[in-house]
């Protein structure tokens, strides 16, 4: 399961603790927002790592092509 699917599943199953007065627990809402933020941060970090690796591969390929063209 990729990160966006994790986020989607988290949102689909999201439920807030109810309070007698005031509707929902503010602390619970804030904790769930923090968890959602953490999920998005993890997805962003993983995408960043993936694209850095792709860029490194392409840079290596370009370097090899330049070296071969100089021969």
Cα separation, 34 vs 13, whole angstroms: 16
Q: In terms of residue numbers, what domain contains 43?
A: 3-69
Which letter does DSSP use for residue 13 in this model?
Answer: T
Number of domains in the chain: 1
Cα separation, 37 vs 33, whole angstroms: 6
* pLDDT for res 62: 95
Contact yes or no for 18/25 (Cβ under 8 A): yes
Phi, psi of 22 (to 5 degrees): 100, 0
Q: What is the pLDDT along the chain (71 residues), one digit of tens a residue?
A: 799 999 999 999 999 999 988 899 999 999 999 999 999 999 999 999 999 999 999 999 999 999 998 87
């Amino acid at each position: 399961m990729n990160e966006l699917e994790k986020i989607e599943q988290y949102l689909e199953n999201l439920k807030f603790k109810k309070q007698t007065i005031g509707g929902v627990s503010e602390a619970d809402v804030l904790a769930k927002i923090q968890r959602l933020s953490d999920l998005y941060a993890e997805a962003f970090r993983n995408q960043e790592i993936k694209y850095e690796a792709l860029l490194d591969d392409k840079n290596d390929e370009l370097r090899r092509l330049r070296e071969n063209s100089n021969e």
